[in-house]
A and B are shown apart, each in its own frame.
Chain A
Amino acid sequence: MRNKRTMTLAALSIGTLLLSACGSAGGTAETPASEGATENLAPTINIAISQAPTGYNGNTASTNAVYNTYVDNLTSSGFAAFAANGNLEPNEEFGTYEKTSDDPLTIKYTINEDAVWSDGTPIDYDDVLLSWAALSGTHPSGEKDAETGAEADLFQAASTNGFASMEQIEGEPGAKEFEAVFTEPYADWEALFTTGVFMPAHIAAEQAGLSAEGDGAELVEAIQNDDRAALAPVAEFWNSGWNYEADLPTLPDTALLPASGPYKLDNATDGTLTLVKNDKYWGEERAGKTDSIVFKTIVDEEAVQALQNGDVDIIEPSSPTVDTKAALEQIGETVTVDTGQSLTFSHVDLDQRAGAVFEDLKVRQAFAKCIPRADMVDKFVTPIDPEGSVMNLHEYQPAQSDYETVLKGAPAAEGDGTADIEGAKALLTEAGKTEPVKVSLMFASTSQLRADMVALIKDSCDKAGFEVVPQPEAEWSAKLSQPGAWDAVVFGWAGSGLVASGQSIYITGGEQNFGGYSDPEVDRLWDEIVTSTDSEAVVPLKTELEQRLAETQYNVVLYANPNIAGYSSKLKGVELNPTQTGITWNAYSWTKQA
């Protein structure tokens, strides 16, 4: 009896189990139809940034950060912008420009007749003149620094490069055309009036107690007459009036923040910034395609999960690792992963002052030969970007179109990056080194990547007759300029895509020539490059420069850092940009399927 009952019970439970394995309960009753979305496009695209933007005017020393550029790309227009190939491209929707004279260098600019700020005020001469006044460093405040004796400028510009050698721009209030005349030739003249440079002068004037009537006549007069008393409040507003509160809890009054780009600022809450389409934007090609774009502040480590959950539609983590890519690819087909190269590159600088370890060219060459550059690329680059390669030039990165051309013209720079231990040994013997050469190799103690790189170098170069001593430093950047604090140092440079910005790295006595390198030929070439106003003429000069830098083994260039962007597969139009402009350089053309 009891046995039978147990049997029945067992049979019943097995039956239930079998039955339950094949059915399921629940499900969605109906999917709510999404209304209001035109052509099935989502009304909003969410972009992750790792820090909140700090200010609307990204031209000051304190707000000059990549997070502000991310936003400026959409809210601002200029005569040119960096495109996906790393080159500057004219933006004819904003206006046109042409070089009218080489001596003195003169550029004629014409702003589009229809170009207006998002509050309706035309973009014209007063905006141009304010930009020149703020960025040229020609308005000393009268206050002297107690120690250096240098006089501070009224405007705290991040850089006066280029504008400082531009004469005051002549014109009448309301004019849409102007001429920039340079007192000395300036190679990067095309990169001056780019995205983000023009700020709304009528706002600055009003906030400083000047009238904005008559196309900003009062402000124009103040600048033309160099009326410091009237300009001081303008400068004060330009310096900090457009700043946001830290972590962006709210936006200042949006009336103070008119945009010149396809989008304008709408609101901000707790680190989240919303842009909406600029209804006054006059252009067609760059006109915004999505109604609103939202920037969300998310630290890089958390961005992948936020993307997976749909909190954001696109992320571009800085310094991506193999793990970042693996995590992104694991999500599956709902997320697209793009990889490419950036203009930021890693390199080893060598102390070559008199008496230093690398004074002798042969020792430098030996060190360059034993560094396993190809290995590093295999370990740190190709797992992320399969196209990545060893970098052989200093002034051009593989992501740039001119890289191959220049490399062909500089045979001394070529190489596949495989460590040549025997060659290094032979060079050291030639240099007369019988004892192992002790090299103190400095790197940032906070970076695991740098530590791994140093371990690879030590492993390889110790075999070739060096004795590499890793030197992790928290304050490595301060120690860079201290002679004798290091023998070699691994760090990165953020390439700018500009022609002249590298000068101080290579010339004798240059501020960022940390190894004390000096070569008259290189100095001469740089003099020519920075005054060359024809971008075509720069390439052969730089080819010559690269050849010379490689012959004299200025340093050892390793590789260009890989770039990665992960985005929802519903998002269309995303393209990586290797420059500091960031992924949003063409976000106005993005669309997202609803």
Chain B
Amino acid sequence: MFYFIVKRTIISFFIMLAATTLMYFLTISSGDPFEDLGETSGPEKAATIAARTTAMNLDVPPIPRYFLWLQDVGHCIVPGGVSCTLGQDRTGAAVLPQLENAMGSTLRLVIVATVLALVLGVVVGIVTAIRQYSTFDYSVTFLSFLLFSLPLFWLSTLLKQYLAIDLNTWLANPQFPYLTIALIGAVSGVVWAVVVGGDRRRRATVFGVAAVVTALALYLLLVTGWFVTPGLGVVGMLVSAAGIAVLWTALLAGFRRRRVLHAALAAAGVAFAGYLVSIPLLEDPNWFLVLALVVGTAVVAYVVAGLVGGPFRAQAAKIGAVIAVSVGLLIVLDRLLQAYPTLSAKAGGRPIPTTGSQSANLAGTFWEINLDYALHLILPTIALTLISFATYTRYTRASQLDVMNQDYIRTARAKGLSERTVLVKHAFRNAMIPITTLMAFDFAGVLGGAVITEQVFGWNGMGNMFVVGIDHVDPGPVMAFFLVVGTAAVLFNMLADIAYAFLDPRITLS
């Protein structure tokens, strides 16, 4: 293991060195660094050219110039002496602070999207694998290929038009004609019927129920003015907490052990009590307080669920904690929704922005500020999620199918294990091994940012830094970007290999 890491690190170092050489010369020969000055005739032109020449060392031939850059990188590796700047951009500003800002921005933008795509993709992938060759499977296949092939800039333009410009206009006066409500109900009925599946009769029932429930819910939300002042309310929270308890129990334990269900419901009760207690505390908190409350509730729920769980103490306690955390997230969501009316007024009645990462000069509560962040994240997150969702679904589906056809799954079924146990405990875990590689690559990609998304939605992240650098034929920022992304790719690849060895005992590292 140790030798493996050492060997890989040494090899990776030389790979990176070679890659930077290639990248550097590709960048500096990609155009004319003075292109933008071509059409200026003013007296400033000569001074600007001189300043840029000094900043970019353009008076040095390319090969020594590359070594000058390497020297700047060296300052960052070798401690002491000259300060670490990673070189200069064309205006003479140090690259390192830019890189730090860009990384901060990018992490905020891309992590949510990646996690969301991962969760959604894996869940949908598993369901499609279980229901192979069903209408649902075909629909998801169609949809994921469609999304995968959408050009991002076009998708972004559509999102801005419908989910920002039109939705904002609608939110100013949220109403639907009854016909539209009925149509939305019908569409939702079809989706549910396809997802749930079954014979014709069952599908008809599902369609009917889902259509009526959706239409009715939408109608109620509209007439009660939910879209003007959204939120869950006390009753909504109670129902949701119970629902969450049942859902997690179904997924993690099944209903055969009654005591576990009771423990889960008790945990939901604890979480709900926590909600009631926290109402005055959460008027204008900070992240530390929120986190402390969630952790506190989780601990209490863990203990209470463990006590109620009796003979199944360990399992019940874990489920209890999971439920408490889930309800905690729901409380945060509820609070954010409650902050909506005031934030919307502060945003001039058009809450969903098409550009930027936060509102300027927003003075407000903790919830308003975070809702503002969230609203700025909505469009780019949807765009990114939709596109990487496709990859995850396809990979998970293939991998799950592979596992489901293995002998040991048949053995597990033959033993008489419940389908839930077979799927979650035996199949899912092993199906996740190949996904690890994909995840490693994706998280390395996260650091690289999202080139088009960042530009389209006005985020100053890594991708934007790279594009602007290329555009200016400015190797400083481009190489800084490349260093981070390249190192991340090499590093995460190594981590994936190590993770493999842990997950699959047949693999040894040598």
Q: Give the residues in chain A near B345, CB-CB below 8 Å.
A: 32, 34
CB-defined contacts of A27 to chain B, threshold 8 Å: 173-175, 222
> What B residues does A147 contact at CB under 8 A?
59
Q: Which of A310, A344, A491 has the most CB of B within 10 A?
A: A310
A157-B47, A476-B38 are contacts. A20–B178 as well, Cβ < 8 Å? Answer: yes
The 8 A CB mask of A66-91 against B (1 = contact, 0 = none) is 00000000000000000000000000
Give bound CA distance, A37 to B98, whole Å: 38
Does B48 contact A61, Cβ atoms closer than 8 Å?
yes
Contact of B92 among A28, A62, A297, A494 (CB under 8 A): A62
**With the chains together, A32 CA to B39 CA distance in Å?**
51
Q: Which of A61, A156, A159, A309 contacts B165 (CB 8 A)?
A: A309
Selecting from A240-248, A363-371, A537-545, the interface stretch reads A240-248
Contacting pair B356 A302 (CB below 8 A): no
Let me know if B458 is at the binding interface, CB within 8 A. yes
CB-defined contacts of B408 to chain A, threshold 8 Å: none
Contact indicator B228/A28 (Cβ below 8 Å): yes
Evaluate contact between B37 and A477: CB separation under 8 angstroms: yes
Indicate whether A25 reaches chain B with its CB closer than 8 angstroms: yes
Chain B residue with minimal CB distance to A164? B43
- Residues of chain A from 22 to 65 with CB closer than 8 A to chain B in the complex: 22-29, 32, 34, 42, 44, 52, 54, 60-64
Contact of A20 with B41 at beta-carbon distance under 8 Å, contacts A25-B219, A478-B32 already known: no
Distance in angstroms from A242 CB to nearest chain B CB is 13
Closest to A480 in B: B38
Asked whether any CB of chain A lies closer than 8 Å to the CB of B509, the reply is no
B355 and A298 contacting across the interface, CB-CB below 8 Å = yes
Segment at the interface with B among A105-113, A269-277, A426-434, A517-525: A269-277
Q: What is the total of A-B residue contacts with beta carbons within 8 Å?
A: 213
Once the chains bind, are A492 and B173 in contact (CB under 8 Å)? no
Q: Do A21 and B35 touch (CB < 8 A)?
A: no
A20 smallest CB distance to B (angstroms): 3
| In the complex with contacts A491-B38, A494-B42, A245-B178 CB distance below 8 A | no
Contact indicator B48/A25 (Cβ below 8 Å) = no
Does B157 reach chain A (CB closer than 8 Å)? yes
The residues of A that contact B361 with a CB separation of less than 8 Å are 44, 266-267, 274, 292, 294
Determine the residue in chain B with the shortest Cβ distance to A308. Answer: B165
A82 to B508, CA, bound (A): 74
CB of B473, distance to nearest CB on chain A (Å): 9
Say which size band chain A's interface belongs to.
Answer: 35 or more
Contact with A along B172-199 (1 / 0, CB 8 A): 1111111111100000000000000000
| Most B C-beta atoms less than 10 A away, residue of A243, A247, A249 | A247
Contact A159 B181 (CB under 8 A): no
Q: How far is the CB of A297 from chain B (nearest CB, A)?
A: 6
The smallest beta-carbon distance between B474 and chain A, in angstroms, is 11
Assess whether A159 is in contact with B31, with CB atoms less than 8 Å apart: no
B82 contacts the other chain (CB 8 A): no
Number of interface residues of B (CB under 8 A): 74
Q: Is the CB of A311 within 8 A of B179?
A: no
Interface centre among B181, B223, B360, B459 (most CB of A within 10 A): B360
B41 touches A512 (CB 8 A): yes
Q: Complex Cα distance A302/B354, Å?
A: 9
Contact of A24 among B39, B176, B355 (CB under 8 A): B176
Chain A residues whose CB sits within 8 angstroms of the CB of B37 once the complex forms: 477
Do A494 and B55 have beta carbons less than 8 Å apart?
no
Q: Give the chain B neighbours of A344 by CB distance below 8 A.
A: 39
- Is the Cβ of B44 less than 8 Å from the Cβ of A272? no
A19, A62, A245, A444 pick with most chain B CB within 10 angstroms: A62
Pick from B31, B43, B179: contact of A475, CB below 8 A.
B31
CB-CB under 8 A for A158 and B181, given A28-B173, A245-B93, A475-B31? no
Residue of B nearest to A250 (CB): B101
Contact indicator A24/B47 (Cβ below 8 Å): no
Residue of B nearest to A19 (CB): B178
Besides the contacts A245-B97, A476-B32, what 4 more A-B pairs have beta carbons closer than 8 Å?
A: A62-B91, A147-B59, A158-B47, A306-B354
Kindly list the 6 A-B residue pairs having the minimum CB-CB distance in the complex, ordered from nearest: A477-B38, A26-B222, A20-B178, A26-B175, A61-B51, A475-B32
B interface residues (Cβ-Cβ under 8 A, vs A): 31-32, 34-35, 37-44, 46-48, 50-52, 55, 59, 89, 91-93, 97-98, 101-102, 105, 157, 160-161, 164-165, 168, 172-182, 219, 222-223, 225, 227-229, 341, 345, 348, 350, 352-358, 360-361, 455-460, 464-465
A-B contact list, 15 entries, CB within 8 Å: A24-B180, A25-B181, A26-B175, A26-B222, A26-B223, A60-B51, A63-B91, A158-B48, A159-B43, A246-B89, A292-B361, A299-B455, A444-B35, A477-B32, A501-B43
